[in-house]
C-alpha cells in the first residue's frame, strides 16, 4: 500500500513532469504543463511552469534576433554581391593559404574559367604563383616594418601576372586584409586582362622597330653615296658642293628622325607598362631570399635603400637571372647587391670579387625569357620597359659589377621636416663609453663590425620618466651597410605617448599595445649587437635610456661607442649645424623614413660610412684614434657648458 501511494503521489507525477519537460524543450516551448496530483508537488510544478514560460520568452527573443540578424546579413550579402557585380575588375578574396574565399562572376571571365572557380581551391590553380607570392611578401614586410602607415599605397600594391596556361596576361592590385595587431589574415586581388592591350603594344613595338631598323640602311647608304661623291675628282666643283650639301642635310634629318622614333618607341613602352614606386631594399632582399631558397648562391644586400620606379616582379626576376648567369660563368657564389642614387636614375649594382664580364656576354642573354616572368618577357623586354641597359666594369680593387639603371621614383619620398632633437650631453656617461677601446683600440676602423642604432622615446627626459617606444639598429661590416641585417622593435613604454612625441616618430598608444616592454627587448638587442662597436647620433641621449634600464633588463651595453655628432664636429667647423639632417645633406645621404628608429639608424649608417673616408684623410684610422678625437670634442663641449 505504501509503494502504491508513493507511486501515485510522487513517482507517476514526476514521470509525467519529465515527459512534459522533454516535450517543452524539444518541440513546443510555449506548452504549459498541467498538474492534478497531490498538493505536496504543486509548488514544484508551478516553479517548473515559470521556468518554461521564461524559457519560451527567451526562445522567442532569440528567434526574433536571429531572424533580424539573418535578414541583415542577407541584405549585406546582396549589397556586396551588387557591388562586386558592378565592379569592372575581377575580384578574388583569399586567406593566408591562398585559398579562395569569395569571388565575383567577372573574375571567372577575366581568368578565363569555365564553370566555377571553386571556394577553398588554391588561387594558384588559375594564376601564376610567383608574382602573387612576391607581392604578398612585399606587403607583409611593409606592414611588419610599419611602413604602410606612411606609404602612398598603404597596404596595397600593383603587379603583373599571368594565367597558369600562360595565354593571358593580367594586371592585378593586391590589398592585405589586416586583423588584430595589424597581422595579415588574407588578401583581396582585383584583376584586369591586359592581354589584348599588350598584344597591341607589341604590334606597335614591332612596327616601330621595323621602321627604325628600316631607316638605318638608307641613311647609311646615303652617307656612303655622299662620301663617294666627295671623293670623285671628276665632278664639277659647284655641282659637287651642291650635291654634298643636299646629301648631308637629308642624312642628318633622317638620323634625327631615327633617333626621335627610337625615343618615342621607348616612351610608349615605358608609359604603358604597369609600374609603381618601390623601396629597393624590399626588392633586393627578395632576390637574396629567392636565391638562398633555391641555390647555393649567397647574396648580401648592402648600402642604403633607394626609391625607384618599375615593375617590381620583373626587376626581381631580372636581377635573380643575372646573378645566376654570372655565377654559372665565373663560379662565384657570393655577391653583394645594392642601389645607388644617380642624378636621374637609381643604379642597381651586382658586385663580386673577380674580373668584369667580357664584352658581349651580357648582350648574348638579352633574348632569354626570364623564368616566372608574365607574358614570356625577355631580358631585353624588361630593360626596354625601364629604359635601361646593362654593362659590366670594375668598381674597386679586385671587384667587378654589373650595373642595372632603373628609373627614379616618380613621387618624392622624403620625411617631413621637423625640428632636430636637441643636443644631449651626459659628459660622465660619454667618457665612460668612449674608453680607449680595449682590445679593439688598434684595429683599423674599416675592419671593425658596427651596429648603428637609434631610439624613439616618449620624450627627451629619461631621468624624469620618459621611456623607449622603439629601438632599431643596422649592421656595418667591412664598410658595407648590411640593410638585410637589421633589428627593429616597437616597445610598450608602460605610459601614454604624448601627441607631441607621436608627431616626431608616428608611434601611437595603439601601435605599442601588446608589444613587449623595454626590459624584454633590450636583451634581444644586446644579443644582436654582440661584440660590435656601437654607433649613434647624439649618442649620450640613447645611452642614457639604456643605462637606466640596466638593472631591470639585466644587460649592460659596455661596447665602445662612436658618436656621429662628435665626429661631425671633429671633421667640420664647429659653427656648422651638426643635426642629422644637416650632415646628411652635406654628405649627399638620401633621407627617407626619418624620425623612425630604423630610418634614423640607416641615415646615421650612411653618414658614418662617409665619415670613415674623411677620418682616414685626417690620419684617424684606428678605433682608439677615433675615440680620442671624440674625447677632445667632449672636453671642448664641457668647457663651453661652463660659460
Distance of alpha carbon 160 from alpha carbon 140, whole angstroms: 18
Strands (E), 79-216: 90-95, 100-103, 156-162, 169-178, 184-193
Distance of alpha carbon 84 from alpha carbon 24, whole angstroms: 45
Known catalytic membership, residue 526: no
Distance of alpha carbon 578 from alpha carbon 584, whole angstroms: 9
The set of cell numbers assigned to 216 is: 638605318
Distance of alpha carbon 458 from alpha carbon 203, whole angstroms: 59
Distance of alpha carbon 126 from alpha carbon 539, whole angstroms: 54
> Which residue in this structure is represented by grid cell 592581354?
195
User: Choosing from 240, 309, 595, 610, which is the catalytic residue?
Assistant: 595
Q: What is the DSSP string of 536-587?
A: ETTHHHHHHHHHHTHHHH-----S-EEEHHHHHHHHS-TTS--SHHHHHHHH
Distance of alpha carbon 300 from alpha carbon 289, whole angstroms: 10
The number of helices, as runs of H, and strands, as runs of E, in the chain is 21, 17
Strands (E), 240-389: 276-279, 298-301, 307-310, 334-341, 345-353
Residues 520-523: contacts with CB within 8 Å, 24+ apart?
520/553, 521/468, 521/471, 521/489, 521/491, 522/471, 522/546, 522/549, 522/553, 522/555, 523/553, 523/554, 523/555
| H helical segments located in 295-331 | 312-330
Distance of alpha carbon 38 from alpha carbon 408, whole angstroms: 95
Nearest one of 181, 138, 185 to 159, comparing CA atoms = 138
* Contact (CB, 8 A) for 442 and 622: yes
The set of cell numbers assigned to 444 is: 683599423
Task: Return left, alpha or beta for 136; rule: phi > 0 is left, psi -120 to 50 is alpha, else beta.
Answer: alpha
The DSSP H or E segment spanning 452 is strand 450-457
Residue 42 CA: distances (Å) to CA of 46, 54, 124, 204, 497 = 6, 19, 69, 95, 65
Contacting residues for 440 by C-beta, under 8 A, at least 6 apart = 448, 533, 560, 623, 624
The set of cell numbers assigned to 382 is: 624588361
The set of cell numbers assigned to 219 is: 641613311
Q: 213: buried, middle or exposed (CB in 10 Å: 19+, 13-18, 0-12)?
A: exposed
Distance of alpha carbon 134 from alpha carbon 138, whole angstroms: 6
The set of cell numbers assigned to 543 is: 645611452
* Contact (CB, 8 A) for 153 and 160: no
Q: Among all residues, which ones are annotated catalytic?
A: 595
Amino acid at each position: 500500500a505504501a509503494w502504491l501511494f508513493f507511486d501515485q503521489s510522487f513517482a507517476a507525477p514526476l514521470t509525467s513532469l519529465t515527459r512534459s519537460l522533454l516535450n517543452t524543450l524539444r518541440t513546443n516551448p510555449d506548452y504549459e504543463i498541467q498538474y492534478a496530483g497531490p498538493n505536496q508537488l504543486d509548488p514544484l510544478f508551478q516553479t517548473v511552469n515559470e521556468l518554461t514560460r521564461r524559457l519560451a520568452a527567451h526562445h522567442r527573443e532569440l528567434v526574433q534576433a536571429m531572424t533580424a540578424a539573418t535578414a541583415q546579413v542577407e541584405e549585406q550579402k546582396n549589397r556586396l554581391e551588387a557591388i562586386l557585380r558592378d565592379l569592372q575588375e575581377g575580384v578574388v578574396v583569399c586567406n593566408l593559404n591562398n585559398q579562395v574565399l569569395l569571388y565575383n562572376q567577372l573574375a571567372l571571365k577575366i581568368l578565363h574559367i569555365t564553370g566555377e572557380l571553386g571556394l577553398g581551391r588554391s588561387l594558384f590553380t588559375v594564376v601564376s604563383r610567383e608574382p602573387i607570392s612576391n607581392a604578398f611578401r612585399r606587403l607583409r614586410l611593409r606592414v611588419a616594418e610599419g611602413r604602410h602607415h606612411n606609404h602612398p599605397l598603404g597596404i596595397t600594391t600593383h603587379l603583373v601576372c599571368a594565367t597558369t596556361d600562360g595565354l593571358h596576361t593580367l594586371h592585378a592590385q593586391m590589398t592585405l586584409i589586416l586583423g588584430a595587431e595589424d597581422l595579415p589574415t588574407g588578401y583581396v586581388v582585383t584583376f584586369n586582362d591586359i592581354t589584348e592591350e599588350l598584344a597591341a603594344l607589341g604590334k606597335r613595338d614591332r612596327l616601330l622597330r621595323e621602321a627604325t631598323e628600316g631607316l638605318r640602311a638608307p641613311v647609311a647608304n646615303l652617307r656612303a653615296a655622299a662620301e663617294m661623291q666627295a671623293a670623285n675628282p671628276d665632278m664639277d666643283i659647284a655641282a659637287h658642293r651642291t650635291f654634298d650639301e643636299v646629301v648631308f642635310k637629308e642624312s642628318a634629318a633622317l638620323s634625327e628622325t631615327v633617333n626621335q622614333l627610337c625615343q618615342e618607341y621607348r616612351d610608349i613602352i615605358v608609359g604603358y607598362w604597369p609600374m609603381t614606386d618601390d623601396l629597393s631594399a624590399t626588392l633586393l632582399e627578395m632576390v637574396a631570399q629567392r636565391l638562398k631558397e633555391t641555390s647555393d648562391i649567397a647574396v648580401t644586400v648592402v648600402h642604403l635603400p633607394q626609391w625607384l620606379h618599375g615593375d617590381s616582379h620583373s626587376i626581381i626576376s631580372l636581377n635573380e637571372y643575372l646573378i645566376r648567369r654570372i655565377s654559372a660563368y665565373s663560379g662565384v657564389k657570393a655577391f653583394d647587391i645594392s642601389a645607388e642614387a644617380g642624378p636621374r636614375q637609381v643604379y642597381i649594382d651586382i658586385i663580386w670579387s673577380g674580373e668584369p664580364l667580357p664584352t658581349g656576354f651580357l648582350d648574348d642573354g638579352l633574348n632569354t625569357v626570364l623564368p616566372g616572368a608574365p607574358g614570356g618577357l625577355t631580358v631585353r623586354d624588361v630593360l626596354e620597359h625601364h629604359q635601361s641597359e646593362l654593362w659590366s666594369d670594375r668598381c674597386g680593387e679586385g671587384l667587378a659589377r654589373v650595373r642595372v639603371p632603373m628609373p627614379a621614383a616618380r613621387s618624392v619620398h622624403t620625411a617631413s621636416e621637423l625640428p632636430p632633437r636637441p643636443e644631449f650631453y651626459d659628459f660622465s656617461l660619454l667618457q665612460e663609453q668612449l674608453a680607449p677601446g680595449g682590445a679593439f683600440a688598434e684595429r683599423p676602423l674599416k675592419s671593425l663590425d658596427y651596429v648603428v642604432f637609434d631610439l624613439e622615446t616618449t620624450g627627451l627626459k629619461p631621468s624624469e620618466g620618459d621611456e623607449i617606444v622603439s629601438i632599431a639598429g643596422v649592421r656595418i661590416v667591412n664598410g658595407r651597410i648590411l640593410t638585410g641585417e637589421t633589428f627593429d622593435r616597437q616597445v610598450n613604454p608602460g605610459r601614454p605617448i604624448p601627441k607631441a612625441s607621436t608627431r616626431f616618430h608616428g608611434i601611437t598608444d595603439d601601435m605599442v599595445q601588446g608589444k613587449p616592454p623595454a626590459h624584454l627587448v633590450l636583451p634581444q638587442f644586446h644579443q644582436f649587437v654582440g661584440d660590435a662597436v656601437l654607433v649613434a647620433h647624439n649618442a649620450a641621449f640613447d645611452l642614457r635610456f639604456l643605462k637606466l634600464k640596466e638593472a631591470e633588463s639585466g644587460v649592460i651595453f659596455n661596447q665602445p661607442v662612436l658618436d656621429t655628432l662628435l665626429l661631425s664636429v671633429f671633421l667640420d667647423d664647429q659653427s656648422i649645424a651638426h643635426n642629422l639632417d644637416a650632415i646628411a645633406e652635406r654628405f649627399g645621404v638620401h633621407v627617407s623614413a626619418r624620425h623612425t628608429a630604423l630610418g634614423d639608424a640607416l641615415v646615421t649608417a650612411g653618414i658614418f660610412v662617409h665619415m670613415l673616408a674623411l677620418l682616414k684623410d685626417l690620419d684617424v684610422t684606428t678605433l682608439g684614434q677615433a675615440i680620442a678625437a671624440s674625447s677632445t670634442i667632449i672636453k671642448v663641449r664641457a668647457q663651453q657648458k661652463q660659460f
